[in-house]
């Protein structure tokens, strides 16, 4: 993503020079590190709109809280509800926005990837969001266990 952005900005500012200037590369670095990554989580949570729900937000949440440097398709189909039952091409389609944004990098050059390396920058850029997501997931699990336990106890008494 940053390489493409550097080329685009270079062509806008100096289309006759074939070499991307150091200043352009630095500007792209600052844009990505200081703006795109910090705002990326919120963007992905809203990007798909009401029609598709918050699939990207759930995927981004999984990546942040899982903490693994690499994920395979089966990690997603097993751990992200919206990915359950999807074929490999469908998984690739769903992860493509995060690939385009640089969160995930295909581990192979195949047209349909089965594994992705997770950009380690997301773990440093979203430390606070990761904590919030972990707390949210913990609360959800506690509520599920409490509700289930209450239901079981109530039915046993009757």
pLDDT bucket at 118, cuts 50 / 70 / 90: very high
What is the per-residue pLDDT for 17? 81
Structure tokens given for 17: 């020079």
* ∠ Cα 66 70 75 (to 5°): 60
Which residue range forms the structural domain that includes residue 123? 2-157
pLDDT score for 24: 83
- The CA dihedral of 25, 34, 123, 102, to the nearest 10 degrees, is -50
- Quote the pLDDT of residue 28: 80
Confidence of residue 127 (pLDDT cuts 50, 70, 90): very high
Q: d(Cα 91, Cα 78) in Å, to the nearest integer? A: 12
Q: Are 79 and 67 in contact (CB under 8 A)?
A: no
The answer to whether the predicted template modeling score (pTM) of the entire model surpasses 0.85 is no
With beta carbons less than 8 A apart as the criterion, state whether 60 and 41 touch.
yes
Mean pLDDT of 80-95: 95
Structure tokens at 63: 């990546």
pLDDT digits (tens, 9 = 90+) for 133-152: 999 888 888 877 765 444 44
pLDDT of 87 higher than 90: yes
Report the pLDDT value the prediction gives residue 132, as an integer from 0 to 100: 92
Q: Are 119 and 102 in contact (CB under 8 A)?
A: yes
Handedness of CA 56, 47, 137, 117 (dihedral sign): positive
Angle between helices 127-157 and 55-66 (to 10 degrees): 100
Quick one: pLDDT at residue 74? 97
pLDDT tens figures, 11-68: 888 788 888 888 888 888 777 777 776 666 565 555 555 444 478 888 999 999 999 9
Domain count, the chain: 1
């Amino acid at each position: 993503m940053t390489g493409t952005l550097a080329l685009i900005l270079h062509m806008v500012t100096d289309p006759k020079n074939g070499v991307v200037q150091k200043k352009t590369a630095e500007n792209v670095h600052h844009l990505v590190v200081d703006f795109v990554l910090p705002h990326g989580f919120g963007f992905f949570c809203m990007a798909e709109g009401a029609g598709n729900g918050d699939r990207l937000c759930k995927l981004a949440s999984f990546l942040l809280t899982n903490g693994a440097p690499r994920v395979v398709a089966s990690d997603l189909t097993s751990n992200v509800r919206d990915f359950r039952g999807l074929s490999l091409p469908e998984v690739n389609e769903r992860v493509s926005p995060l690939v385009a944004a640089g969160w995930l990098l295909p581990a192979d050059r195949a047209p349909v990837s089965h594994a992705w390396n997770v950009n380690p920058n997301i773990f440093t850029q979203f430390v606070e969001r990761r904590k919030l997501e972990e707390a949210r997931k913990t609360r959800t699990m506690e509520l599920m266990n409490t509700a289930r336990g209450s239901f079981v106890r109530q039915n046993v008494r009757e």
